[in-house]
Amino acid sequence: MSGSAPVTRVLAIDDSEDIHAILRARLEREGLVLESAASGAEGLAAVLADPPALILLDLGLPGMDGFEVLRHLKDNDRTHSIPVIVLSGSDDAKDKVRGLDMGAVDYVCKPFDHYELSARLRVALRTQRLLEMLARRAQIDGLTGLWNREHFDARLADALATSARHGAPLALAYGDLDHFKSVNDTYGHSAGDAVLEGFADILLGELREADVAFRLGGEEFALLLPDTTVEESIAVLERIRASLAGVCWPRHPDRAITCSFGVADRGVGGSWEPSAWMEAADKALYAAKNAGRDRVMIAHGEEIEPAPC
Amino acid sequence: MHQPDTRPHALRNGGELRSTLADDPDMRELVGQFVESLGKRVTLLESLLLGGETAELRRAAHQLKGAGGGYGFDPISAAAGALERSVDAGASHEELRASMDELASLCRRASV
Ligand SMILES: [Mg+2]
């Protein structure tokens, strides 16, 4: 392997060694790497161990047949979005309809013309790339490029599960730009947008590798800081505040922008519900706003207190 | 791209059956191996037919149908498909024998 272009791996699940040999010879030409499984069980294990870019699935297989393999693939969150092309000796329309309705993206009969199969593979891979791009787009905030609220909800559950599994701390911070509405009203929405974009850049610049930033909407942001206690999170948040305070905004050089933060950790060893945790961070943010903005407040259980300077 | 063979009569006259992929550099070696394996495959099919193991016979014919065209032998795929359909249709031993003879004759005449 030269290690330059990433390899596209195609898994063929078929009980015919001839088919594996023919596919291997043909797909190599297309720059694809063929991996082989001779039964449904072997195929499913291979998919779970290292998901391929695409699966070529035979229907007539010993033991578990191709339809059953397809059902398993589509029932599993880890495998359901991998495109499957049925490659079957059956040209029965009923089999075609059943396979496609069960989630296969295409159906090619054996013996196959390899030019046609290759073209269909290219189409399936092309469509897959677009689907993945759309799925990502749907979770990205169009203005700032940060993850959006939809992704926040999904990510929060993942981060909580990981934190619980490893008994590791996890901090959640809500940030809200101060008096943002007046920036919009005074200098126009494009100036407001510039502030949001600039703040997102600061977040990305100041956060650490594992931290994740989200724009929840308007001027509201959330930060997930894995392996981080509330105390440790203060250093990160203060760095962000200092960075923001140092910006000279081209559209309003005399008007600085500040941000209020509320932060809570998951309560290591405690039994906080996600909703209680989010509420605590929210309360801390509210307290920061009420105490005059431009500051960090932390939630210790029910207690809200200012971040030590 | 190869065309389906439109000369069924020519194939029955005992001449060589050449792979349409004989000149394909990606496939030449595989086609050679396939042709070499055909004798054994026919022997297996014959013994399955003689032993009345129709399920296994159908499976072997089905596989040969799926692979033959990929090696450039569409007529072998077609004949294996006919044998598979005969099994599915519950054909008599004589009918199966006729399908088998057709397939075996094509296999014997196959060359790279
Ligand atoms: Mg099969």
> Of B2, B5, B30, B33, which to mutate for an interface test with A (greatest number of A Cβ within 10 Å)?
B30
**How far does the CA of residue A97 sit from the closest CA of chain B (Å)?**
20
Does residue B9 register a pLDDT over 50? no
Q: Answer whether the bond into residue A274 is a cis peptide, omega within 30°.
A: no
Q: Ligand 1 centroid vs A20 CA: distance in angstroms?
A: 11
In single-letter form, the type of residue at position B79 comes to: A
A127-131, A156-160, B13-17: segment of lowest average pLDDT:
B13-17
- Helix, strand or coil, per DSSP, at residue A67: helix
Nearest to B66 among A25, A110, A115 (CB): A110
Neighbours of A274 (CB within 10 A): 14
The domain spans of chain B are 19-111
Does residue B1 register a pLDDT over 50? no
Q: Which pTM value belongs to this model?
A: 0.72
Closest CA to A243 of A212, A201, A286, A214: A201
> Given this model, what pLDDT does residue A302 score?
77
Q: Where does the pLDDT of residue A121 fall: very low under 50, low under 70, confident under 90, or very high at 90 and above?
A: very high
Across-strand partners of A299?
Answer: A264, A304
Mean pLDDT (chain A, rounded): 93
Q: Do A25 and B34 touch (CB under 8 A)?
A: no
A31-45, A205-219, A292-306, B70-84: segment of lowest average pLDDT:
A292-306
Architecture of domain B19-111: Up-down Bundle (1.20)
Q: Do A111 and B59 touch (CB under 8 A)?
A: no
> Given this model, what pLDDT does residue B2 score?
52
**What does the alpha-carbon distance between residue A263 and residue A240 come to, in Å, rounded to a whole number?**
14
Check if the beta carbon of residue B17 is closer than 8 Å to that of residue B109: yes
The pLDDT tens digits for A235-250 are 999 999 999 999 999 9
Q: Where does the pLDDT of residue A183 fall: very low under 50, low under 70, confident under 90, or very high at 90 and above?
A: very high
CA atoms within 13 A on the CB side of B21: 24
* Domains identified in chain A and CATH numbers: 8-135 (3.40.50.2300), 149-306 (3.30.70.270)
Give first-to-last CA distance, chain A, whole Å: 53
The catalytically annotated residue of A28, A42, A219, A220 is: A219
> Given this model, what pLDDT does residue B8 score?
52
> Of B63, B77, B87, which to mutate for an interface test with A (greatest number of A Cβ within 10 Å)?
B63
A219 is catalytic: yes
Tokens of A44: 């499913």
Closest CA to A104 of A133, A134, A82, A75: A82
Closest CA to A203 of A220, A189, A227: A220
Check if the beta carbon of residue A264 is closer than 8 Å to that of residue A280: yes
Closest CA to A299 of A291, A309, A290, A282: A282
> Given this model, what pLDDT does residue A136 score?
85
How large a percentage of chain A has pLDDT more than 70?
96
**What does the alpha-carbon distance between residue A227 and residue A268 come to, in Å, rounded to a whole number?**
10
Q: Do A18 and B34 touch (CB under 8 A)?
A: yes
The pLDDT tens digits for A45-95 are 999 999 999 999 999 999 999 999 999 999 998 999 999 999 999 999 999
Q: Do A21 and B74 touch (CB under 8 A)?
A: no
A112-116, A164-168, A226-230, A246-250: segment of lowest average pLDDT:
A164-168
Mean pLDDT of B74-100: 96
Q: Is B69 on the interface with A (CB under 8 A)?
A: yes
Can you tell me the ipTM of this complex? 0.84
> Given this model, what pLDDT does residue A3 score?
45
Alpha-helical (H) ranges within A167-245 are 180-187, 189-206, 230-245
